[in-house]
Structure 1
Amino acid sequence: MASEELAEIEGQISDIFRALSNGFQKLEKIKDPNRQSRQLEELTDKMRECKRLIKEFDRELKELDYKNDPDTNKMLIEKKQSMIKELNSYVALKKQYASNLENKRVDLFEGPGEGFVEENVLLASNMSNQQLMDHGNQMMDETDQAIDRAKKVVHETIDVGTETAAALKAQTEQMSRIVNELDSIHFSIKKASQLVKEIGRQVATDRCIMGLLFLIVVGVIAIIIVKIVNPNNRDIRDIPGLAPPAPTRKLLWSTD
């Protein structure tokens, strides 16, 4: 039978899965990129918490492996794998939304409107060849500058993504170290509790022995005091009524 700790952890994970499902449904209705980014950050935090709970579920399952029957262990392992699969689906969905959000933020090509094209056609009809060449060179320069700005934005986005990935990796490693330290502390507390119980039993045994020794010492002291106070204590054979009976004598009758 599963322990109460496993049931509690499973309930917390189910609550997070419901929150993630509702959060992604809400994300589909948000149009503002900034709000979408904040919503993704909140969902990412929930996924980190869910990952931590699944690890805790796995540790508790390993501790109870020898207590549960094989069918129960198999059921719990399948449940853990199902939770991992569901979490991975939300992680993939989060990556998809994050990629779409980055594509919206970086607009590499900003084409002119139809009215602007018609205006350029009308202006070109009134220009000389040299003016057309100068205007074409100017447009090419502006296009090159726009491409350079777009490349700069792409590089900045890549740098930000790299820094974010490094920060997430460092935080994940830190969380793993903290979890391992908590496991070590929990194990040390269990060992300390067992040691305290053993010391308590040893102290109780020592107290019994000391009590018996104390009684023996008190008895010896009492005997010594009695001997000192009444040194002329009569032998038991001198006390009337306690002397052993005298041996019977055999009479020898002479036959004359």
Structure 2
Amino acid sequence: MNSLSSISEELAEIDGQVTDVLRALSNGFQKLDKIKDASRQSRQLEELTEKMKECKRLIKEFDQGIKDLGYKSNPDSDKLLSERKQSMIKELNSFVALKKKYASNLDNKRIDLFDGPGEGLAEDNMLLASSMTNQELIGEGHRMMDETDDAIERSKKVVQDTINVGTETAATLKGQTEQMSRIVNDLDSIHFSMKKASKLVKQLGRQIATDRAIMAMLFLIVIGVVAIIIVKIVNPQNKDIRDIPGLGPPVQNRRLLWNS
């Protein structure tokens, strides 16, 4: 360590971190031997795997630090740093090999755990069957058949309920579709009626305008006739106004041409 400190404080610090991680790995694998529970062994192995990843990262930093220093002119320093790096890699590889060994043992234990309960259950069933009489075996078979029939009936009921719900949903959708179609038809009828009413209003407006013009002309004619009557009554001798039957002065005796 002192020699590394004399070369580089940064490399000495990384070397100390690697040493601490390797020591923790050694202690962790020693504890792993004492753990009998497979799940606890698996958790402990995961923790050790994380520490190995950290150690690998630190060794890469150490190697990069050696490259950055570039002590090519000092063979002793190069040799010391190279030997220390190789020692780190060797020790880490030994822990990697241990990890693979323990992982393989755990996989075998998992297979045994999965196989064990099934075999025990089969043996229990065989023991139960062997202890029954023929009548009990027949009764147990009938009971299992009845349970199976009940399960089938429940499944049929679920399927029928599903079919009924689907039928009701389809009928509801059909009714809503028909209702929407009627609404669309009603809207079309209303639109047509509004257009027809608009045309009738326009025609009525034109007719009213024509009737008003006729009434205005008739009113003017009546006013003119009334005015002539009034003038004729007030001034019967006015020769500018033509005679109106019944209102003009008495007709003078006219001589016929042949009487002359």
Larger radius of gyration: 2
TM-score of the aligned structures, taking structure 2 as reference length = 0.43
More relative contact order, 1 or 2 (CA 8 Å, 6+ apart): 1
TM-score of the aligned structures, taking structure 1 as reference length = 0.44
Larger helix fraction of residues: 2
